[in-house]
Structure 1
Amino acid sequence: MMMTLTDQETEVIKETCKVDKPVKLIELSQEPRIYRIPGFLTDEECEFLIDTSKNKLRPCNEISSGVHRSGWGLFMKEGEEDHQITKNVFNKMKSFVNISESCEVMQVIRYNQGEETSSHYDYFNPLTTNGSMKIGLYGQRVCTILMYLCDVEEGGETSFPEVGVKVKPIKGDAVLFYNCKPNGEVDPLSLHQGDPVLKGTKWVAIKLINQKNKETGAPTQ
């Protein structure tokens, strides 16, 4: 049975840093740890990320490590994350996660009708040579913050098939999910996918949070 989000879930975390608007996290799953963050981005922030990206997008059609990703996207270049609006977004993130210098740059992706991302893991596989190398260089991808930059008329949900959680894209909302367990082990239940867009267009921004320490506990209290 799929669980569709409502506004009635219990608020479990409140903002602890100085930001313009308190950030609340709503727990959707304990294993893996998944939280919805309603109204995380303002309309201005959503529009800024779209406007600064729309003329630079490149096709993402690819199949790598068994993952099929369609759509159009980009990774921000060095210095592009220094704009004050982007910094404000990161400040809000810092109220519940630890953003280190090794964290990867933000990615922006646009999905048109029929485009999707197949089920995959965001963590680096520590049992592979390539995964171990990346963990040593950047730290493990302990969690992911997925931000919705627009409403989607139909489809485009973020689904976690192992635990039956399905998140509807709503402009300004975000999803925080942990790719690792609190003890630092990778969490296979974090398998997720971007469902096909059935009608309309889907814009998302993604920030992967890397940590080199072993402990990856709950969001900052």
Structure 2
Amino acid sequence: MMMTLADQETEVIKDSCKVEKPIKLIELSQKPRVYRIPEFLTEEECNHLIDTSKNKLRPCNEISSGVHRSGWGLFMKEGEEEHPVTKNIFNKMKNFVNISDSCEVMQIIRYNPGEETSAHYDYFNPLTTNGSMKIGLYGQRICTILMYLCDVEEGGETSFPEVGIKVKPIRGDAVLFYNCKPNGDVDPLSLHQGDPVTKGTKWVAIKLINQKSKEGTPTQ
């Protein structure tokens, strides 16, 4: 049975740099490593990401590597991540992950009722030619930061079907999950999906954190 985890879970407090308040990580799972980050984004940051994206969205409707993603989205173009609001978001991420030049650009996606993303892995499969090539070019996708830009009336949870976890979208909250184990091996338990929105609209921002290392060992 799926379960929705709430604030009673284990809390992990990380020292923060110069941001408005400390970043709080609530541990939802150890295997895979999944954390909810309450109030990670401010109202201004949520509004900025939506307002600068809403007129540029294109249909996703993609099917690649067995993954089906409906909805409307975009990848930020070169220079757009340099906006002061976006840069402040990245500065907050540096409290708990290693942001490097090899990280991928932020993606913004809007889901209307009935739209979803099927179960998939974010990591590159090192056992395939394509996956191995991408690891060499970009570095393995060690972890993912999924940010909710609005509340969703019904549906739209982020689900981890292998471990029975559902995370409800709450405006300003984020989910941090690791696609790899601490030793750098890919983690099959990180399988996740965006459940269909049944009422309302869902906006998310996604930042994939890559680790480019000769040893292939992630920075924790």
Q: Which moved more, 1:8-17 or 1:150-159?
A: 8-17
**Shift of the alpha carbon at 1:21?**
1.5
Q: Which amino acid in structure 2 is aligned with residue 13 of structure 1?
A: I
CA contact under 8 A between 2:113 and 2:200: conserved in structure 1?
A: yes
Contact 1:9 1:26 in 2 (8 A): yes
Structure-1 separation of matches of 2:45 and 2:85:
6
Give the TM-score, by structure 1 length: 0.97
Secondary structure class of the residue paired with 1:137: helix
Alignment RMSD, CA only? Answer: 0.9
* Percent identity over paired residues: 86
Rounded to whole Å, the distance in 2 between the matches of 1:165 and 1:31 is 11
What corresponds to 2:119 in structure 1? Answer: 119
Residue 215 (structure 1) aligned with residue 217 (structure 2): yes
Counterpart residue number, 2:3:
3
Distance 1:176 1:117 in 2: 17
The equivalent of 1:59 in structure 2 is 59
Counterpart position of 2:152:
152
Q: Give the drift of 1:8.
A: 1.5
Q: Take 1:101 and 1:88, find their aligned partners in 2: how far apart are those partners?
A: 16
Give 1:187's aligned residue: 187
Q: 1:137 maps to what in 2?
A: 137
1:32 equivalent in structure 2 = 32
The code of the aligned residue for 2:8 comes to: Q
Note the alpha carbon deviations across 1:54-102, whole angstroms, 9 max, x for none.
0000000011111000000000000000000000000000000000001
- Give distance in 1, aligned partners of 2:3 and 2:212: 33
TM-score normalised by structure 2 residue count? 0.97
- Structure 1's consecutive aligned runs of 4 or more residues displaced over 6 angstroms after TM superposition are none
Q: How far apart, in 2, do the equivalents of 1:132 and 1:116 lie?
A: 28
* Distance in structure 1 (CA, Å) of the matches to 2:29 and 2:56: 36
- Determine helix, strand or coil for the equivalent of 1:166: strand
What secondary structure sits across from 1:26 in the alignment?
strand
1:83 corresponds to which residue?
83
Secondary structure (helix, strand or coil) at the match of 1:101 reads coil
Report deviation, 1:217.
Answer: 5.5
